[in-house]
Structure 1
Amino acid sequence: MTSVPTTTGSQRRPGRSMADLLNSQGFRSLAYQVLLAGFIGLLGYYLYSNVVANLAAQNIATGFRFLDQVSQFEIGERLIAYSARDTYGRAILVGLLNTLVVTAAGIVLATVLGFAIGIARTSRNWPLAKLATGYIEVVRNIPVILQVIFWSVVIRNLPSPRGAIEMGGVAFLSNRGLTVPVPVGNPAYTWMFAAFVVAIVFSIVFSRWARRHRERTGKYVETLWIGLAAMIGLPLLVWLFAGMPSEMNIPLRKGFNFTGGMNVSPEFTALLLGISMYSSGFIAEIVRAGIKSVPRGQTEAARSISLRPRFIMRYIVMPQALRVIVPPLTSQYVSLSKNSSIAVVVGYPDLVNVGNTVMNQTGQAVEAIAIMMVVYLIISVVTSSLMNFYNRAVAIKER
């Protein structure tokens, strides 16, 4: 008598587990994402192949080999050594550094202006609040490119170097920009900068210790003046021990221009003022919204125990307002970095301006634009990452 094989539950389990896997929401979600990524990849490859084929049909070379060719054009403003005998790659690097400088300076200036105007708009001082409101309404409702052009026209209509506005006989304001004296190079200044960095680190560490001490004992320890004393006093001590170097490179009129000193160009100034003031209007509204989001009862309770206004703003209002301020503030920083690309309208040699020159000379339009796109993408991602890190650092931990 032969036995009939039976199907056990353990033998049927693989079939059921495979069906469960295929019907699971997680697997289907992953599969759809893989299919979408593959479709986008194929579409990108098709477009790239089409562009390469069309360029080849017009005898236009593709690739990034042009970056090693001699640029044959000068750049007026630069932070590193550059001449017309350098490569296109170095020219793009010069433009990138100029973009980073104006972006960093713009973020600092826009933040200072925005926070000051935003706090002023919440003030109970009627003229100050109305003045802040007027500033916000003006700078927010004028396109940023018009503001940049406006400041460029204002600076260009300043007196010529021969009739420049003197500032103490050592600095000059003219249609060539602001020319100021600078210290002559000395190793002591490097050590002073290092001392300043050490003082900043000390101030941060001391501020955190003071906060923990206040939370533990309830006793307030002054940190602002101690931090400022460290940041001023430590570099000053280094300067004293280094022999007090004081030689200055003072600008002098010579012909139709100035010699010596350092010149802040009209193009840089116009671009910096335009993008900074435009962004500061939006930052001010973000700050005002953050301050208004703090319950009014908390500020009234703080006043009832005779806390000083600066203590109320620093320890009660701002820590809570930052949770509302930081996320949209990140978007404004990213927008400011992208707005710097309008430097081309005033002739400031930023990444886009230099990239356009490279593109016109080489004909490598796709590659030049791709470089600019990738660079701005990296700047935006880095800015967002740093702000997200700061947001997590200042976030109030719920217990």
Structure 2
Amino acid sequence: MTAAAVPFPAPGPWRRWLSTAAWCLALGGMAAVLLLHIESVQTARGIQGGFGFLFQPAGFRISESLLGVTPDDPYWMSIAAGLVNTLTVALVAIPLATALGLGLGLLGLSSHPLAARCAALVIAPLRNTPVLLQLFVWYGLLLRLPDLRQAWSPLPSVLLSNRGLALPAVHGWLPYAAAALAALALGWRARRRWGNAAWYGALAAALAAWALLPAMQVDLPVRRGLGLQGGWQPSIEFAALTIGLVVFHAAYIADIVRASVRAVPVGLVEAGQALGLTPRRVLRLVIAPYAARVALPPYANQCLALVKNSTLAIAIGYQELMAVINTVITQTGLALEGIALAVAVYLALALGLGGGLSAWNARHTRHGPGDTHGARLGDRPLSAAAPDARPWRRRLVSAMFAIALAAAGWALLDWAVLRAVWLGDPAACADAAGACWAAVGENLPLLLFGTMAEADRAPALAACAALLAGVALTLGAGRLPARARAALLAALLAAVACALSGWPWGGAAIGPQRWGGLLVTLILAIAALGAAVPLAFALALLRRSGSRAGSLAAAGLIEAARGVPLVTQLLFASFVLPMLLGGGVSKFSMALAALTLHTACLLAEVLRGALQAIPPGQMMAARALGMGPAAAHAYVIWPQARRIAAPAALGVFVGAVKDTSLVSIIGVFDVLGAAKAVVAGTAWRPYHVEVYLAVALLYFAASLVLSLAARRMERVGA
């Protein structure tokens, strides 16, 4: 006899719609109240809201753009010119980053240990230092190039100087490109229907169309007086931004390439070898197609990240979209309208690029991934899949890499140690052939404490020491009992509070307005991560909840925060939060709010994936034992999700630590802001590389510690 299930009345559809309507009304009411409050603040300041300003004269010049814009043109044309600059950077940087990342990834997959080590030595510093810091380094290095009279010419009619790059310009190429793209698209569809004859016919039609088009003209750059005339002359800011984005994202693309190749099943490679394919044809016909399908989703994320990181041009003076909108907000005072335009454009770019790559991915994976069982290439050396038939070639390559590593190591040792100047003033470094570490030593108080008063430096140093001890305890004291660890953390936090409040020795309290240097970076990183974890968990649960409106609200917030650049979010916090809160908000608090929300939304997706990996029976078993939803999540679901999400979550934490460097854009005086203040002076300006390398070492050490902790958690599963 089987027991009959006890029927429970399902909630009627009207209840679900009532809940959705209540959520929508509540969210809409909150949004309306906030908008009305912002409009009232703008009206009190004498600012008339709305988007009518777009048709008013901008009054400022776009110094570099493919669109000819003058100060008399309306604001919308200036914003369009900034958008064109953003797209230009993306169109130039994405192919270059892809090519460089592919080369580094294949080098890291090499069976030669030295070749793989070289790739790792290049990738690790690029991944573990902030991209904004790298942009400053590239910008300073390019400014050290010779002037136009002694410009370097690596190719005919190509000039590189401290004014930028001069290249030959081709006029009238757009009709040719449109005809070629149309011929390729039509020929591809015709080939699938009627074979190669249609393909050749489309190419012949394209050539005939080219013959009817007006001839293209090549404009070469020519020196005239003290300047250049003709050609395409991208500025030094454009070059620094492009180089910085290319090398930074190439490091991530290299890891994507390496992981995707290692994910190829060995059975597919062995099948290709059994058919008599050569190693190159196995790579081209078997490994590359499978690895491309695996790599496309994370590669799409890198492309989107590159477009968003182009907003960092605001820090080096290149007028891309966000820099132009920032100027518009400063002139008009319409912060809400300006940020809304930026959010709409970047979300449209993210949806367009992400949607196109997703459609391409769905088209090429509709037949399934193929053989997904058995060993992968990552489980065995790649040389086993494609053995080297010529051992002398392997020895020759090893010797070449050994010589290159020895030469690079000696040059670095000679510059950084043997010929370096460790003490003295700028005059002591003027004639030195090596690094000027005196620029770091002499300005160490400014780097550590910013503009803090002399009396505040000792408490700030004590607070920094307690914070670093707390981080070390959290990451390295795995064998300590939970209660002992919690007690030690509480004691360290109490020490930080005492140092900054002046209690119990009666010192003056040190508020956020007076913080600077290392203290700002540490508190921002720790506070943002501490506040982001519970918020991320709440967002992940809300997105997986049965409430349709709550799930949509959480999804909308998460996708908006992920799709909009962090620079835009920081500017939103800087311009709009004071209007919402009535002023009196410190820049530190605004930066902390933006970093917390951004990190929480990234972490929420990691936690959502971990929660989806937990079988539903775990919750059912917990409820069957009499646990409530809160207790079941606290004692059953959350411990499992934490173990699953720990490696990926620590990756988000590494990104959050590097993102703290962006707060200098809105005037928060962190470590990077202090470094900028050091090199802003004329005395130490020539030694900006040494100053930025010292700051980079700090971020690299923090990122390396978190990365090692993630690997350890991945190995032990805890």
Q: Tell me the TM-score normalized by structure 2.
A: 0.46
1:143-182 equivalences in 2 (<5 Å): 143-182=130-169
**SS state at 2:277 partner:** coil
200, 204, 207: which is aligned to 2:184? 200
Q: Does 1:318 align with 2:288?
A: yes
Q: How much does 1:372 deviate?
A: 0.9
1:304-383 equivalences in 2 (<5 Å): 304-383=274-353
Q: How much does 1:252 deviate?
A: 1.5
Q: Quick one: distance in 2 between partners of 1:160 and 1:356?
A: 31
Aligned to 2:238: 268
| Residues 243 and 375 (structure 1), Cα distance of their counterparts in 2 relative to 1, 3 Å cut | closer
Aligned to 1:385: 355
33, 56, 68: which is aligned to 1:46? 33
Kept after mapping to 1: 8 A contact 2:176/2:213: no
Q: How much does 1:37 deviate?
A: 2.3
Aligned to 1:4: none
7, 11, 36: which is aligned to 1:23? 11
| Residues 100 and 297 (structure 1), Cα distance of their counterparts in 2 relative to 1, 3 Å cut | same
Q: Quick one: distance in 2 between partners of 1:41 and 1:65?
A: 24
Q: How much does 1:390 deviate?
A: 1.0
Q: Which amino acid aligns with 1:107?
A: I
220, 229, 233: which is aligned to 1:259? 229
Q: Which amino acid aligns with 2:248?
A: Y
Q: Quick one: distance in 2 between partners of 1:384 and 1:27?
A: 36
Q: Does 1:98 align with 2:85?
A: yes
Q: Output the aligned Cα RMSD.
A: 3.1
| Residues 243 and 173 (structure 1), Cα distance of their counterparts in 2 relative to 1, 3 Å cut | same
Q: Quick one: distance in 2 between partners of 1:162 and 1:234?
A: 47
Q: How much does 1:234 deviate?
A: 8.6
Q: Quick one: distance in 2 between partners of 1:86 and 1:242?
A: 35
Q: Quick one: distance in 2 between partners of 1:81 and 1:244?
A: 23
**SS state at 1:271 partner:** helix
Q: Which amino acid aligns with 1:303?
A: Q
Tell me which of the two structures has the higher relative contact order, counting C-alpha pairs closer than 8 angstroms and 6 or more residues apart.
Answer: 1
| Residues 109 and 37 (structure 1), Cα distance of their counterparts in 2 relative to 1, 3 Å cut | farther
Q: Quick one: distance in 2 between partners of 1:35 and 1:318?
A: 51
| Residues 255 and 342 (structure 1), Cα distance of their counterparts in 2 relative to 1, 3 Å cut | same
Q: Quick one: distance in 2 between partners of 1:209 and 1:317?
A: 28
Kept after mapping to 1: 8 A contact 2:175/2:213: no
Q: Which amino acid aligns with 1:389?
A: A
| Residues 309 and 244 (structure 1), Cα distance of their counterparts in 2 relative to 1, 3 Å cut | farther
Q: Does 1:303 align with 2:273?
A: yes
**SS state at 1:263 partner:** coil
Aligned to 1:10: none
Instruction: Kindly provide the CA deviation profile for residues 66-117 of structure 1, in whole angstroms up to 9, marking residues without a partner as x.
Output: 1121111111111222101111121111111111221232222222222232
| Residues 131 and 201 (structure 1), Cα distance of their counterparts in 2 relative to 1, 3 Å cut | farther
253, 259, 264: which is aligned to 1:283? 253
Aligned to 1:107: 94
Q: How much does 1:304 deviate?
A: 4.0
Q: Quick one: distance in 2 between partners of 1:122 and 1:382?
A: 33
Q: Quick one: distance in 2 between partners of 1:152 and 1:47?
A: 40
Kept after mapping to 2: 8 A contact 1:319/1:396: no
Aligned to 2:105: 118
Aligned to 1:140: 127
**SS state at 1:367 partner:** helix
Q: Which amino acid aligns with 2:137?
A: F
Q: How much does 1:58 deviate?
A: 2.4
Kept after mapping to 2: 8 A contact 1:319/1:394: no
1:236-255 equivalences in 2 (<5 Å): 241=211, 248-255=218-225
Q: Quick one: distance in 2 between partners of 1:191 and 1:166?
A: 31
| Residues 128 and 237 (structure 1), Cα distance of their counterparts in 2 relative to 1, 3 Å cut | farther
Instruction: Kindly provide the CA deviation profile for residues 363-384 of structure 1, in whole angstroms up to 9, marking residues without a partner as x.
Output: 1122111211111111112122
| Residues 347 and 332 (structure 1), Cα distance of their counterparts in 2 relative to 1, 3 Å cut | same
Q: Quick one: distance in 2 between partners of 1:86 and 1:103?
A: 25
> Which structure 1 segments of 5+ residues have no match?
1-18, 214-220
Q: Quick one: distance in 2 between partners of 1:86 and 1:63?
A: 19
Q: Quick one: distance in 2 between partners of 1:394 and 1:360?
A: 47
Q: How much does 1:396 deviate?
A: 4.7
Q: Quick one: distance in 2 between partners of 1:88 and 1:191?
A: 29
Q: Quick one: distance in 2 between partners of 1:82 and 1:247?
A: 23
Q: Which amino acid aligns with 2:130?
A: P
**SS state at 1:178 partner:** strand
| Residues 275 and 43 (structure 1), Cα distance of their counterparts in 2 relative to 1, 3 Å cut | same
Q: Which moved more, 1:299-308 or 1:265-274?
A: 299-308
**SS state at 1:85 partner:** coil
Q: Quick one: distance in 2 between partners of 1:112 and 1:207?
A: 29
Kept after mapping to 2: 8 A contact 1:193/1:235: no
Q: How much does 1:47 deviate?
A: 0.6
Q: How much does 1:356 deviate?
A: 1.2
Q: Quick one: distance in 2 between partners of 1:356 and 1:167?
A: 37
| Residues 253 and 389 (structure 1), Cα distance of their counterparts in 2 relative to 1, 3 Å cut | same
> Which structure 2 segments of 5+ residues have no match?
1-7, 371-718
Q: Which moved more, 1:163-172 or 1:260-269?
A: 163-172
Aligned to 2:262: 292
Percentage of matched positions with identical amino acids: 32
Q: Which amino acid aligns with 2:286?
A: I
Q: Quick one: distance in 1 between partners of 2:144 and 2:61?
A: 26
**SS state at 1:264 partner:** coil
**SS state at 2:341 partner:** helix
47, 59, 71: which is aligned to 1:72? 59
| Residues 385 and 194 (structure 1), Cα distance of their counterparts in 2 relative to 1, 3 Å cut | closer
**SS state at 2:233 partner:** strand
Q: Quick one: distance in 2 between partners of 1:381 and 1:75?
A: 27
Aligned to 1:8: none
Q: Quick one: distance in 2 between partners of 1:266 and 1:83?
A: 21
Aligned to 2:69: 82
Instruction: Kindly provide the CA deviation profile for residues 121-173 of structure 1, in whole angstroms up to 9, marking residues without a partner as x.
Output: 22224343332222221211121111211221121111111111134552211
Q: Which moved more, 1:131-140 or 1:319-328?
A: 319-328
| Residues 122 and 31 (structure 1), Cα distance of their counterparts in 2 relative to 1, 3 Å cut | farther
Q: Quick one: distance in 2 between partners of 1:50 and 1:191?
A: 50
Aligned to 1:13: none
| Residues 66 and 243 (structure 1), Cα distance of their counterparts in 2 relative to 1, 3 Å cut | closer
| Residues 28 and 331 (structure 1), Cα distance of their counterparts in 2 relative to 1, 3 Å cut | farther
